[in-house]
Amino acid sequence: MDFSLSKEQKLIQQLASEFAEKYVEPVSNQIYEEKRIPEDLIKALAEYELLGIPFPEEYGGSGAGYLSYVLALEQIAKRSAGLGVTISASMLGAGAIMNFGNEGQKQKYLPPVCQGQHLASFAFTEPGTGSDPKQIESTARKEGNYFILNGTKRFISNGSYPGPLVVFARDTEINSISAFIVDKFCEGYSVSQPWNKICARGSNLVDIYLQDVKVPEENLLGERGQGFPILLTSIAFGKIGTSTCALADTLAAFEEALNYAKEKLHRGEPIAKFQAIQLKIADLAIKYELARWLCYRLGYLADTMKDWQQFAKEAALTKSCVGDNAVHAARIAMEIHGSYGLMEDYKISRIYNDAILGSQIEGVSDMQKLIVANNLLK
């Protein structure tokens, strides 16, 4: 077993770290306050080739694999959870096209995402269903060479940005779920006001309304009626990003706590002198290492594993553990800060809110555990 990173992986990690320090850190407060990502930042990410890391070069990516994506996203999301979620959500939509699209779809939709002109979206959640996508009520009706889509999708990341939307709807003729690629802002596409989130501020989250949206037959993603397996596999790949954002929150909490413990004085000496603080710092180090190796492992498995059902189990296991772990880490870091942590002036207050996200999206932690158990018990 070799835990060392390749030269290329180290370079990408270093590049992302430098990028985040130079371009993300200076605007991280602005992202939080204004609740939007500056347009220039997405373009800069593309210039540094950080938006299509796992995708092959022929589609505008770097061909560097999912482990490299994890290494880069960790560095970026540590500085801004909002930006991290934006990238992760776009990778979820684009990843579905990469895994299930035909050649024409990949050629058309992936390069603009890698070049930062577009952000992809992925829509399964509806007002009536999140954890149980079999209950999807949006409909697709076949009419000649088109499908007509109707329905409301809830909590869709990047829904206000132009780009491809991978959307799931019940194909009424065959009474089964199919997946489609919709060009956002086509006729019949509209969005709500952005949701006012307590976490990952800056990432765009809206409801999407599809009203008689005419989707050409060639925009069917994968086979007709095969939407459910496409959904499950794509979400499994999406969990690489979601888990990495939780890893980044854990690292941010760890670093903030470490700095605070060294700087905050008690009777003239840093609070780090107290054993109770030292135990918490060690707990944070343990939590970071645990999350790090699970996420790196998931990236490695995405690059090497052939059985997608097994991969889905590993992704669920990772997200469940790393998502809950981030919440615990943020809590410990908060305790080290005492009352100061409750003040918005202190970064830990923001990290504390950001940390809850990983255990909630793309299926709550309990649902992840059910995926793991079902796989083990079948």
Ligand X SMILES: Cc1cc2nc3c(=O)[nH]c(=O)nc-3n(C[C@H](O)[C@H](O)[C@H](O)COP(=O)(O)OP(=O)(O)OC[C@H]3O[C@@H](n4cnc5c(N)ncnc54)[C@H](O)[C@@H]3O)c2cc1C
Instruction: List contacts with ligand X (CB under 6 A).
Output: 89, 121-125, 130-132, 155-157, 197, 200, 205, 357, 360-364, 366-367
Which residue lies nearer to ligand X by CB, 99 or 360?
Answer: 360
Rounded to whole angstroms, the Cα distance separating 50 from 91 reads 11
State the catalytic residue, choosing from 74, 126, 314, 362.
362
When the beta carbons of 7 and 134 are compared against ligand X, the nearer one is 134
CB of 183 to ligand X, least distance (A): 17
* Residue 272 CB coordination number (10 Å): 17
C-beta of residue 260 within 8 angstroms of C-beta of residue 305: no
How far are the Cα atoms of 120, 139, 198, 376 from residue 337, in angstroms, in the given order? 38, 50, 20, 41
Nearest approach in angstroms of CB 145 to ligand X is: 27
CB nearer to ligand X: pick between 168 and 296:
168
Q: Which is nearer to ligand X, 58 or 132 (CB)?
A: 132
> What whole-number distance in Å separates Cα of residue 293 and Cα of residue 7?
18
- Of 130 and 323, nearer to ligand X (C-beta) is 130
Tell me the residue type at 352. Y
CA-closest candidate to residue 215, choices 176, 165, 155: 165
Closest distance of CB 285 from ligand X, Å: 28
To the query of whether residue 362 is one of the catalytic residues in this protein, the response is yes
Smallest distance, ligand X to C-beta of residue 293, A: 25
To ligand X, the closest distance from the beta carbon of 50 in angstroms equals 20
In the bound state, the residue with its beta carbon closest to ligand X is 130
- Annotated active-site positions, please? 362
